[in-house]
Amino acid sequence: MRKRIFDIIQIGNKSDLPSTLYDYFITVVIILNLVVTFWLTFRIPSGTMERLKVIEFVTMCIFTVEFLLRLWNAKFLYPDKNAFAAILKYLISFYGLIDIFTILPYFLPVETLYGMGALRIIRVVRIFRLFRVNTQSDAYNVIVAVLLEKKNQLVSSISLIAILMLSASFLMYSVEHNSQPEVFDNAFAGLWWAVSTVLTVGYGDIYPVTTIGKCMAIVIAVLGVMSTAIPTGILSAGFSEHYKLSKLRTEDLDETFRVLIDGKNVWAGQPAETLQKLYGIRVVLIVRDGQHLKPEGITIEVGDTLVCMV
The CATH number of residue 47's host domain is 1.20.120
> 143 lies in a domain?
no
Beta-carbon neighbour count of residue 217 at 10 Å? 21
Contact 63, 99 (CB under 8 A): yes
Structure confidence by residue, pLDDT tens digits, 147-180: 877 888 888 888 988 898 889 888 888 899 888 8
pLDDT of residue 132: 58
Please list, in sequence order, all residues whose beta carbon lies within 8 angstroms of the beta carbon of residue 154, skipping any fewer than 6 positions away: 147, 231, 234, 235
Judged against a pLDDT cut of 50, whether residue 276 lies above it is answered with yes
Q: Are 7 and 121 part of one and the same domain?
A: yes
Q: Are 176 and 81 part of one and the same domain?
A: no
Domain containing 269 — which CATH number? 3.30.70.1450
Confidence of residue 290 (pLDDT cuts 50, 70, 90): low
> 141 lies in a domain?
no
CA distance 42 to 143: 35
CA distance 55 to 113: 25
Among 14-28, 64-78, 125-139, 223-237, the least confident range: 125-139
More confident residue, 200 or 253: 200
> 267 lies in a domain?
yes
| Number of separate domains in the chain | 3
pLDDT of residue 201: 75
pLDDT of residue 118: 47
Structure confidence by residue, pLDDT tens digits, 224-248: 888 888 888 888 888 887 676 655 5
Which of 101, 136, 171 is a domain's end point? Answer: 136
Q: Are 10 and 130 part of one and the same domain?
A: yes
Query: Could you tell me how many residues make up the chain?
Result: 310
Q: Is 286 helix (H, G, I), strand (E, B) or coil?
A: strand
pLDDT of residue 119: 47
> 144 lies in a domain?
no
Sheet containing strand 256-260, strands side by side: 256-260, 305-309, 282-288, 291-293
Beta-carbon neighbour count of residue 73 at 10 Å? 21
Q: Mean pLDDT score of the chain, rounded to an integer?
A: 79
Alpha carbon separation from 89 to 21, 67, 138, 184 (Å, rounded): 27, 14, 24, 49
Contact 127, 136 (CB under 8 A): no
Q: Are 155 and 121 part of one and the same domain?
A: no
Which of 136, 167, 194 is a domain's end point? Answer: 136
Domain containing 237 — which CATH number? 1.10.287.70
Q: Are 213 and 254 part of one and the same domain?
A: no
Confidence of residue 58 (pLDDT cuts 50, 70, 90): very high
Q: Are 35 and 118 part of one and the same domain?
A: yes
Q: Is 170 helix (H, G, I), strand (E, B) or coil?
A: helix
Judged against a pLDDT cut of 60, whether residue 254 lies above it is answered with no
Beta-carbon neighbour count of residue 124 at 10 Å? 11
Structure confidence by residue, pLDDT tens digits, 67-112: 898 888 888 888 888 888 888 988 888 778 878 877 877 776 654 4
More confident residue, 133 or 296: 296
Identify the domain containing residue 280 by its residue range: 250-309
